């Protein structure tokens, strides 16, 4: 996974480039309960080092109330305005991505730089055997 963000308005006039590279053999897909590992790389023309939060966010869509929540995350305190660091996030073992006729649950991997308020995100599938669970069809009642 590779992201490039250049946001002068939110970054206080400074350019910020952020890249996330996952170790997973299949990008954007992971198993329940397995660690999600990778490298974050950044470049900034600011004089101070960035502070990152990398984590998982979920949301539901479909009929009824929409819901959101945050999963595990980790913090990266950079020592220099430009550099890279390894990260590891423990993927939950009990909340899989799923899709059905009425509702679906989707996960997103995000990286947030606290000083510039720049956030990048990428949808990711979390599930058994690295696939979203497909819910069965809902039958129609006959009166």
Query: Which tens digit of pLDDT belongs to each residue from 7-17?
Result: 444 445 566 78
The pLDDT assigned to 27 comes to: 60
In the numeric block, which tokens belong to residue 107?
């996960």
Q: Where are any strands of DSSP class E within the chain?
A: 16-22, 29-30, 35-44, 51-62, 68-77, 83-90, 98-99, 103-113, 118-126, 133-134
| 56 vs 64: CA distance, rounded Å | 23
Under the banding of pLDDT at 50, 70 and 90, the label for residue 130 is confident
- Characterize 16-35 residue by residue with b for buried, 16 or more Cβ atoms within 10 angstroms of its Cβ, and e for exposed: bbbbbebebeeeebbbbeee
The pLDDT assigned to 13 comes to: 58
Query: Which tens digit of pLDDT belongs to each residue from 61-108?
Result: 988 788 999 999 999 998 899 999 999 999 988 888 998 888 999 999
In the DSSP assignment, the letter for residue 50 is -
Query: Which one, of 109, 32, 30, 40, lies nearest residue 70 by Cα?
Result: 109
Is 57 exposed, middle or buried, given 0-12, 13-18 or 19+ CB atoms closer than 10 A? middle
State mean pLDDT over 111-140: 81
């Amino acid at each position: 996974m590779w992201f490039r963000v250049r946001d002068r308005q939110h970054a206080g006039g400074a350019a910020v480039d952020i890249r996330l590279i996952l170790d997973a053999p299949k990008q954007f897909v992971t198993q329940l309960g397995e660690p999600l590992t990778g490298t974050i790389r950044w470049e900034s023309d600011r004089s101070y080092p960035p502070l990152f939060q990398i984590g998982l966010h979920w949301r539901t869509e479909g009929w009824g109330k929409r819901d959101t929540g945050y999963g595990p995350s980790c913090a990266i305190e950079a020592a220099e305005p430009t550099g890279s660091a390894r990260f590891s996030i423990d993927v939950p073992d009990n909340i899989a991505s799923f899709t059905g006729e009425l509702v679906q649950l989707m996960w997103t991997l995000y990286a947030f730089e606290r000083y510039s308020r720049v956030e990048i995100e990428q949808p990711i599938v979390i599930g058994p055997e690295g696939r979203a669970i497909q819910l069965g069809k809902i039958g129609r009642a006959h009166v």
